[in-house]
Each structure stands twice: as C-alpha cells, then as structure tokens.
Amino acid sequence: MAWKGVHLSRSARLNTADGQVVVVQDDGEVRLPLEDVAYIVLDAHAALTSTLLSACMEAGIVIISVDQRHTPNGMMLPFHSHHRQAGVAAAQLAISEPFRKRCWQRVVTAKIENQAANLELCGRAGSDALAAMARRVGSGDPENIEARAARDYWRNLFVDFIRDDPADLRNKLLNYAYAVLRAGVARALVAYGLLPSVGLNHASITNAFNLADDLIEPFRPFADRLCFARSRDRDADEEMTIEDRRAMAGILMQNCRIGEETVSLLVATEKVAEGLVRSIDASSPLLLLLPRLPDAGKAGP
C-alpha cells in the first residue's frame, strides 16, 4: 500500500528502474519503490520520461503540477482497472436523490464538527456554536448550515481574513494544501471504481471532480489547522517559502481518526472511497466513514 508523497522543490530528472522512482539531482539520486508512493508534487523544473509517467499511472500515483507562483494547477490521474469498474460506476449512477442527500448530510456534519474541533485545538473561540450547528444539519442541508458555519468559522479562526484574497499568505497555504487533498481524494475514488465527475451535491457539468469536491470537505479543516500553525505571527503579505510548500504538500501524511482507527489522511481517503462503495451497495449512508480531528464530536445523522 502506498504510504508516502514526494515533493520536488529543486530541479530534477525522474525516471524509473527496477520498480522504483529514480530522482536524479545535482547532488546525487534517490530511489523510491513505486508501490510506496501515492503522489508526486512537481514544485520545480522536472524532466520526466514517458516510461516513468506510464509506470506511475500503472502504480496509481498522482502527479501534481504547479504554476509560476508555486500554486498547484493540475494533476495527472491514473485510471485503475478496478475489478468491478463497470459495476461500481453503474451503481453510483443509479443512486437515489434521498441517498445523495443523506450522504451529503453526513459530509457536511463531519466538516462542521472538524471545524469546531479545529477552533478548539487552535485556541480560538466559537467551537461550541459550530458543534451546535453540526447537530442541526438536515438531509441535503436544506438550511445551508454549511455556509453559515463557514462564516463563523473563518471569522473566529483568522483575524482580518478574506478567503478569496489571492495575495494573503493564508490563502496561498490553504490553496496549496487543498489541491493536494483533492488529488488524494480523486486518486482514491478512481482506485475504487468510482466516477469522480458524478457528485453527491456538486453537479457542475464542467467539473470532472464533483465527487472529489464533495468528499474533500471534512478533510479541509486539517489543512486549516496546518495553515494556522504556519501563518501564526507572520504578515499576511508574505510569500510562501520552500518550507511552507513542503509542509502543505505533506498534508496527506497528517493523522486523523476514522471509525475506530488512527490513520494518515492518505489512508483515510481510501477508507472514505471504500466506505462510499459499501454504502452504495447496501443503500445505507451510515456506512460512509469520514475523517475527524482528534477532538471532533461524534454527533451526526
């Protein structure tokens, strides 16, 4: 099972040999077994051979690219040959609207619980109010409690913060980590035969990752927590450093609770995808497992 990510912050040449990723840089080379790697972030100039690209896709490795501002801007996603690919996809396409709404209720509840836990862990006010909101989320979230909780959450977590300000260091950190999380979730969905474009709540005809954008929601507070730690006591107009980018690229190595286990977020993405397939097969949204921060509440639908 893959258990690590690779973040390239210096120019490198990548190839494959003997079932390994070979990373060659000026000061030498590093070799990593393909089966151990889940994702590679190309945050510097890199030359990749077609042999490596093919090997990465065969091994289920996601490759993430960044733009000139060091913001992730794309990913190369493998298409696994899941043994039930057609069957899982057909079942996913056939799920009912009530089932989608109950699953979305669980996703939103888990997200808000994690936001509440994050406020507490970061020593910020407002966790009790968010926990109360989480208990009020209905099937399909008809009252849009997710948005109301988000307003309170950001206001309490950060001072003088506007989420869509691209110049703010905190947004740069968040966007970097969110992109890595999204790639990790999409990788897991494909591995379990699910169609990333067919969402539970997101339904944009131009979005190839509607389902990933649904299921990423409970993962976001983990990135928020890491961003809070790295941006604290720093000016909002600072640029991301290499150390910042390395830290955010490692978001999938953070631990979480899922079910009764403590696992990495990378493993959690796979458990979420597996749980969704089981919930679809059994027509039971309760089988959809979602990650939670250590102190996240257990209340939910």
With a cut of 80, say whether residue 228 has pLDDT above it.
Answer: yes
Helix axes 265-282, 97-121, angle to 10 degrees: 150
* CB count in 10 Å sphere of residue 288: 22
Q: What is the secondary structure of 63-123 as a DSSP string?
A: EEEE-TTS-EEEEE------TTHHHHHHHHHT--HHHHHHHHHHHHHHHHHHHHHHHHHTT
Q: From CA 6, how far away is CA 183, in angstroms rounded?
A: 13
Q: How is the chain split into domains, by residue range? A: 4-76, 85-287
Q: From CA 192, how far away is CA 78, in angstroms rounded?
A: 12
Residue 301 has what pLDDT? 36
What number is the average pLDDT over the span 119-148? 97
Fold classification of 4-76 is Ribosomal Protein L15; Chain: K; domain 2 (3.100.10)
What number is the average pLDDT over the span 254-258? 96
What number is the average pLDDT over the span 211-217? 97
Look at the block and give the residue holding tokens 């631990």: 255
Residue 83 has what pLDDT? 64
- Return mean pLDDT, the chain: 93
- The pLDDT tens digits of the residues spanning 171-187 come to 999 999 999 999 999 99
Residue 80 has what pLDDT? 62
With a cut of 60, say whether residue 299 has pLDDT above it.
Answer: no
Q: From CA 301, how far away is CA 106, in angstroms rounded?
A: 6
Take residue 99 and report the two structure tokens written for it.
């089932």
Q: From CA 194, how far away is CA 152, in angstroms rounded?
A: 34
What number is the average pLDDT over the span 65-81? 84
Q: From CA 94, how far away is CA 120, in angstroms rounded?
A: 40
Take residue 140 and report the two structure tokens written for it.
């399909």
Comparison of pLDDT for 68 and 180, the residue scoring more: 180
With a cut of 80, say whether residue 56 has pLDDT above it.
Answer: yes
Considering the entire predicted model, what is its pTM?
0.92
Percent of the chain exceeding pLDDT 90 equals: 89
What number is the average pLDDT over the span 215-244? 96
- The pLDDT tens digits of the residues spanning 76-132 come to 987 765 667 788 999 999 999 999 999 999 999 999 999 999 999 999 999 999 999
Architecture of domain 85-287: Up-down Bundle (1.20)
Q: From CA 293, how far away is CA 41, in angstroms rounded?
A: 25
Do residues 247 and 138 make contact, with C-beta atoms less than 8 angstroms apart?
no
Do residues 256 and 265 make contact, with C-beta atoms less than 8 angstroms apart?
yes
The CB-based long-range contact list for 16-24 (8 Å cut-off, 24+ gap) reads 16/49, 16/51, 16/52, 16/55, 21/52, 21/55, 21/56
Residues counted in the chain? 301
Residue 84 has what pLDDT? 76
Residue 70 — very low, low, confident or very high, per pLDDT cuts 50/70/90?
Answer: confident
CA 150 to chain centre: 18
Phi, psi for residue 87 in degrees, rounded to 5:
-65, -45
